[in-house]
Amino acid sequence: MRAALHRLAPFVPAIDLLADAPAGDPRGAAYLLAAYAAGFPPGTVFLCVIDPGVGSDRAAVVAEADGRWFVGPENGLFALVLRRAAIARAWTIAWRPPVLSASFHGRDLFAPVAARLALGAAPPGPERPATGLDRPDWPDDLGRVVYVDHYGNAITGLRAASVPADARLRVNGRTIARARTFSAVAAGTVFWYENANGLAEIAVNAGRADRMLNLAPGAEIGIEAASVMEASSNCNTGVAPPL
């Protein structure tokens, strides 16, 4: 894909935003994309290919959210970006290259469209309602691990601002308190915090949360309010239900 971008737009810089997003999981990646894309200026073109349906009849689309462009398959990947945007538009990609492989649309279809958008071209196809790309059954915040980074930190689909400040996260039978950052807790301590992109992230100071808690993408995350936990403890009723 980078080769196709360079061939068609050689003087436009290309940045690998997240080259190891969870394979075949557009739902989890949708929450990552919405958080990470917010740090880029309007006019940025995002080439996004998490496409378990390649070769099927799923559509190819261009979306515009608050001036940022997104190119990729219609599989929910842009649902959260568009839902959170003040201004959202979408188009179906009608253009096809002379040669289109059955299994590499990222290189053959999406990269050429992204390159042309970066050079100022219009979307190559008819406009369609942006709401048609939403997934209404997907929540605004996803209570599960969507990515584990190189250091073993587990990023969730929850925006930290949507979680009460005194709440704890629950995963795999463990209840985890919040801290501001790594240095706020002792070495070896599990905690959660608001990461640099605004998502709730589970980490261990000087350790790996994925190994300590057996975490992987897809692990379910619960939220427990501190006041409910205290009441449960005083009544000796065990773990409080998630809110």
The 10s digit of each residue's pLDDT in 110-141 is: 999 999 999 999 999 999 999 999 999 999 99
Residue span of the structural domain in which 226 resides: 142-235
pTM score, whole prediction: 0.90
d(CA 183, CA 187): 8
Q: How far apart are CA 153 and CA 143, in angstroms?
A: 16
Identify the CATH number of the domain in which residue 56 sits. 3.40.50.10790
Closest CA to 160 of 203, 202, 204, 198: 198
**Do the domain assignments include residue 242?**
no
User: Taking 50 as the threshold, does the pLDDT of residue 243 lie above it?
Assistant: no
**Predicted confidence band of residue 227 (pLDDT cuts 50, 70, 90):** low
Of 76, 99, 133, the residue at which a domain comes to its end is 133
Q: How far apart are CA 141 and CA 9, in angstroms?
A: 36
Write out pLDDT tens, residues 51-76: 999 989 999 999 999 999 999 999 99
Confidence bin at 225 (pLDDT 50/70/90)? confident
Residue 10 has pLDDT above 90, yes or no: yes
Closest CA to 41 of 77, 65, 61, 9: 65
Query: Residue 47: beta bridge partners?
Result: 71
